[in-house]
């Protein structure tokens, strides 16, 4: 299994296509950082416009933590496409190249084959998020410095102390890795059914877009299915940035306002991953390799 | 006694309403170069894919090295090397990297020196470090064979190994098969739609058409110019078959299909057969000798479907 996983990772990282995602993330983040570095104050003033008459804020709003939050909100919508680019190619790409039949004539079980490929796609996803964290968090901290983070929510504002932020990002990135692994599992599952990568990549993105629309629309009939859609739970990383307050309305360090939501979302995403990987195994073990 | 390396019984594969392989039975002995012959779409590749567990049979049994394939898949595939149709490999890797990768997948650790020896055997040493995307079809085919051989299998299955090759490439593959058979004592199954390719290397031949066995036998016998195949159509085939089974011609009878009886015999015996048929009160509608295996194969592959099954 370990050998198979090594081979799969070797194949992934020898393909030029793999690096498109890393280059795309680097380009997007550096452009946003550059823009905020140049015009950050105006952007902050725009964001805080409603509060400027009622609240006086000292310190740097446009600090590295805030920039990272902005970047995550922007990028975690687009990263699924970059994940699908690899995950949805894992089986269909082999079928397209004709290497699937050669691989399966080797003394490896189909279960091991599928699991090794899925774990390789997961490792790729995690590495992509680590790269995202390095650029979005650490690079932003270096460029913009650190301070307390001030966030505007729908009908309230949250201020998180400087020393209370970093672990929240660690948690948010871990959760984002889980959410993106769900996307990888979906893409991986769909890649069983095609002999070229385009179909599964487009299908993965279509499912995500469709479910996201259902997740965000407040229509009663959709509200019934929302709790079961993985897209509803993919944004639960934001829960890390909702802090409990005491009776004086002061934030309590080291707390999350609704940890139950976070736990619930974690289990639902894990259930989706197990379902997609289980379904992949079931389909692939019965599959006739005709490519 | 030679060990049976492949034993296939009643192998059938349906794809929805298409029967790709129909009740096929054959066996390959240790050391054989087994030629698997049939026109495109005859069911050769489907059969080979079933031998390699790429496709599940609808029914039938496959044993390799005396073990049921589905129960001992991993153990069996460690002893098998295969090229299935086009020898597709990772084009963004070099021949050396591909070979190393597939050697690891086959469960063997091979030194760089041994890998280079494998590449040398197929004449790819000079281009070993070049990406496969720059290779010609012939070079890819040779690399595919090197990959099939990298873990030193005792059974080698080559599906249409000369497809897309120039005459020199075809000759190279032929020589390699002969070398593997004679020098390294490998058992080889090689499929082709060209009789001329198979007859030069195979010790035993199976011809299939529409998924059914047409003929199977030793090459030496099948290509013996003194032997012929006779197709017999009579007024009452059931009665005729009964009569023949009780006569001296019993040993010459081959399995029949549809409305044709088939006998394999020495050409010189045809007049005697004719006389005996009359004496047995068999009313003959036609008695048609096929002059050679090539004649017969050409008839099959030209789409003249009144030809029926017979085995050696």
Report pLDDT digits (tens) over A206-228.
Answer: 998 888 888 888 888 888 888 88
Mutation site, B80, B84, B110, interface A, largest A CB count within 10 A: B84
CB B193, CB B37: distance < 8 Å: yes
User: How far is it, in rounded angstroms, from Cα B237 to Cα B283?
Assistant: 9
Residue B308 has pLDDT above 60, yes or no: no
Please give the share of chain B, as a percent, with pLDDT higher than 90: 15
User: How far is it, in rounded angstroms, from Cα B260 to Cα B275?
Assistant: 19
Q: Per the structure block, which two tokens stand in for B265?
A: 């015999």
Per residue in A185-211, pLDDT (tens digit) is 999 999 999 888 899 999 999 998 888
Q: Looking at CA atoms only, how far is residue A1 from chain B in angstroms?
A: 10
Q: Looking at CA atoms only, how far is residue A287 from chain B in angstroms?
A: 7
Longest CA span, chain B: 73
- ipTM of the complex, rounded to two decimals: 0.79
Residues from chain B contacting residue A109 (CB–CB below 8 Å):
73-74
Q: Per the structure block, which two tokens stand in for B175?
A: 């020589």
How is A183-220 classified by DSSP, letter by letter? HHHHHHHHGGG-SSSHHHHHHHHHHHHHHHHHHH---H
Residue A236 has pLDDT above 90, yes or no: no
User: How far is it, in rounded angstroms, from Cα B191 to Cα B177?
Assistant: 12
Strands lying side by side in the sheet with B227-234: B253-257, B260-266, B227-234, B284-290
- Average pLDDT along chain A: 87
Q: Helices A64-75 and A18-47 meet at what angle, rounded to 10?
A: 120
Q: Hey, is the C-beta of B21 within 8 angstroms of any chain A C-beta?
A: no
What is the pLDDT averaged over residues A146-166?
82
Please give the share of chain A, as a percent, with pLDDT higher than 70: 98
Residue A174 has pLDDT above 90, yes or no: yes
Residues from chain A contacting residue B89 (CB–CB below 8 Å):
99, 102
Highest mean pLDDT (candidates A143-152, A174-183, B209-218): A174-183
Question: Which of A102, A106, A288 is facing B55, going by the closest CB pair?
Answer: A288
Q: In sequence order, which residues have a C-beta less than 8 Å from that of residue B304 and are 6 or more positions away?
A: none
Residue A61 has pLDDT above 90, yes or no: no
User: How far is it, in rounded angstroms, from Cα B153 to Cα A124?
Assistant: 34
Binary contact (A106, B92; C-beta < 8 A): no
Going from the C-alpha of A154 to that of each of A158, A242, B65, the distances in angstroms are 11, 12, 70
Binary contact (B74, A107; C-beta < 8 A): yes
How is B245-307 classified by DSSP, letter by letter? HTSGGGGGEEEEETTEEEEEEEGGGHHHHHHHHHHTT--EEEEEEE--HHHHHHHHHTT-TT-
pLDDT for residue A52: 66
Grade residue A124 by pLDDT with cuts at 50, 70 and 90.
very high
In the DSSP assignment, the letter for residue A228 is: G
pLDDT for residue A127: 93
* Model confidence pTM above 0.80: yes
Per residue in A66-117, pLDDT (tens digit) is 889 989 888 877 888 888 888 888 899 889 888 888 899 898 899 999 999 9
Q: In sequence order, which residues have a C-beta less than 8 Å from that of residue B28 and are 6 or more positions away?
A: B4, B5, B6, B34, B187, B189, B204
Domain positions in chain A: 2-16+74-137+164-286
- Average pLDDT along chain B: 83
User: How far is it, in rounded angstroms, from Cα B34 to Cα B189?
Assistant: 5
Mutation site, B92, B110, B150, interface A, largest A CB count within 10 A: B92
């Amino acid at each position: 299994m370990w050998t198979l996983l090594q081979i799969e990772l070797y194949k992934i990282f020898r393909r030029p296509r793999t690096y498109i995602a890393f280059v795309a993330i680097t380009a997007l983040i550096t452009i946003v950082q550059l823009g905020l570095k140049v015009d950050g104050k105006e952007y902050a003033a725009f964001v805080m416009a409603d509060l400027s008459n009622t609240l006086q804020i000292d310190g740097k709003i446009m600090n590295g933590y805030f920039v990272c939050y902005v970047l995550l909100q922007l990028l975690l919508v687009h990263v699924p496409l970059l994940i699908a680019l690899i995950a949805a190619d894992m089986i269909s790409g082999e079928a397209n190249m004709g290497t699937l039949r050669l691989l399966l004539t080797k003394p490896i079980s189909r279960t091991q084959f599928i699991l090794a490929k899925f774990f390789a796609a997961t490792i790729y996803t995690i590495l992509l998020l680590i790269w995202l964290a390095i650029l979005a968090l650490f690079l932003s901290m270096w460029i913009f410095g650190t301070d307390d983070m001030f966030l505007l929510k729908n009908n309230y504002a949250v201020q998180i102390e400087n020393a209370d932020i970093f672990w929240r990002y660690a948690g948010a990135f871990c959760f984002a890795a889980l959410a993106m692994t769900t996307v990888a599992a979906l893409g991986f599952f769909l890649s069983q059914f095609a002999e070229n990568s385009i179909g599964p990549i487009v299908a993965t993105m279509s499912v995500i877009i469709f479910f996201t629309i259902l997740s965000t629309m407040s229509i009663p009939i959709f509200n019934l299915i929302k709790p079961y859609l993985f897209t509803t739970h993919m944004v639960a990383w934001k829960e890390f940035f909702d802090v409990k307050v005491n009776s004086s309305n002061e934030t309590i360090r080291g707390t999350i306002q609704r940890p139950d939501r976070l736990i619930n979302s974690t289990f639902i995403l894990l259930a989706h991953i197990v379902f997609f990987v289980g379904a992949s195994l079931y389909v692939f073990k019965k599959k006739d390799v005709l490519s | 006694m030679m060990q049976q390396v492949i034993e296939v019984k009643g192998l059938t594969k349906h794809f929805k309403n298409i029967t790709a392989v129909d009740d096929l039975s054959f066996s390959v002995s240790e050391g054989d170069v087994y030629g698997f012959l049939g026109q495109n779409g005859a069911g050769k590749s489907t059969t080979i894919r079933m031998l390699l567990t790429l496709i599940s049979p609808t029914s039938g049994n496959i044993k390799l090295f005396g073990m049921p394939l589905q129960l001992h898949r991993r153990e069996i595939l460690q002893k098998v090397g295969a090229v299935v149709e086009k020898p597709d490999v990772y084009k963004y890797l070099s021949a050396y990297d591909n070979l190393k990768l597939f050697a690891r997948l086959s469960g063997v650790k091979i030194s760089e020196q041994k890998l280079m020896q494998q590449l040398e055997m197929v004449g790819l040493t000079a281009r070993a470090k070049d990406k496969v995307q720059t290779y010609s079809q012939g070079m890819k085919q040779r690399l595919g064979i090197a990959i099939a051989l990298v873990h030193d299998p005792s059974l080698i299955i080559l599906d249409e190994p000369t497809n897309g090759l120039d005459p020199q490439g075809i000759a190279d593959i032929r020589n390699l098969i002969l070398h593997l058979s004679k020098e390294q004592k490998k058992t080889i199954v090689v499929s082709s739609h060209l009789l001329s390719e198979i007859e030069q290397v195979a010790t035993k031949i199976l011809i299939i058409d529409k998924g059914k066995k047409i003929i199977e036998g030793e090459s030496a016998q099948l290509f013996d110019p003194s032997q012929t195949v006779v197709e017999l159509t009579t007024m009452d085939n059931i009665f005729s078959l009964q009569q023949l089974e009780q006569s001296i011609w019993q040993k010459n009878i081959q399995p029949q299909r549809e409305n044709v009886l088939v006998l394999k015999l020495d050409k010189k015996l045809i007049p005697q057969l004719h006389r005996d048929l009359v004496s047995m009160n068999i009313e003959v509608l036609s008695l048609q000798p096929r002059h050679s295996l090539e004649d017969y194969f050409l008839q099959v592959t030209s789409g003249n479907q009144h030809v029926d099954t017979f085995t050696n």
